Structure 1
């Protein structure tokens, strides 16, 4: 049997998508990646800009890679 499932379900089932999957989507330019959105007019709010910087930092990328072992792919 073969199935297409979201990574979160694979992780919950004890699978490791990085090694158990036959194929994985690329994180780069993925239209299904989570994004940070803000209300119009708050695009330059210092707190929002800092949050965006932190969310896409090398430290967060490493955390995602270490914690989810390929089950979640950073899209930045």
Structure 2
């Protein structure tokens, strides 16, 4: 995420082109607050902590589930 340029980098793993998406100012403010509170080191959104104590990032399936559950509510 580039807060100065108000963009987020979205890499494509399947050989397609990488993209940049816009970030709105209210989202930037919320993300900065979240980062300060959570103090994430590797992943922005942590899914869980393994038995070894390592954090795992949120997967695309996890994001899809959150969107579906939010849409239902």
TM-score (norm 2): 0.24
TM-score (norm 1): 0.23
Higher Rg: 1
Q: Which has the higher contact order (CA 8 A, sep 6+)?
A: 1
